Amino acid sequence: MAGQPVYGGVNDPRLGDLHDKSDPGYFGHIDLARPVYHYGFLDVTLKALRCVCFHCSRITVEDTEFKFKKARGIKNRKRRLNAMHELIRPKKRCDHCNGFQPKYTKVGLHVEIEYADEMERMPGTSGDKKQFFSAQKAVEIL
């Protein structure tokens, strides 16, 4: 409080002295009440959301498709995600549940979702096509 480190806070004194250059500090973690987006993984999260169905939480392409099998066979995780993303991103409907897929965009440190015109009901309380997409909803889908 008033500029002093707080036990259990971000600058907990047990993690090391901030002003002592010889002290390397120590790792710690904070348990958050709700999920939040990590800025370093926001692009990966967006790519994963675009590959997974909003309604049934499955990959939006059939397992038997040749290009999907070829992309799944890539060993490098980053290249595999990029190949899946390029294959699945243009799809507007899920092959499994036939549901329309919304459009995800990054706005600063947040994700915004835009529902397709064809979606008959929009989740949430407001009827806006564009809405803030919480990290909690992303966790439920992924």
CB-CB neighbours of 49 under 10 Å: 19
Is 19 part of a structural domain of the chain?
Answer: no
Which domain covers residue 45, as residue numbers? 39-141
pLDDT score at 16: 73
Number of domains making up the chain = 1
Is 2 part of a structural domain of the chain?
Answer: no
Task: Determine if the pTM surpasses 0.85.
Answer: no
Is 22 part of a structural domain of the chain?
Answer: no
Spatial distance between the Cα atoms of 137 and 142, rounded to a whole number of angstroms = 9
Parts of the chain with a pLDDT under 50: 125
Structural contact between residues 112 and 133, judged by C-beta atoms closer than 8 angstroms? yes
pLDDT score at 125: 47
pLDDT score at 129: 84
pLDDT score at 128: 77
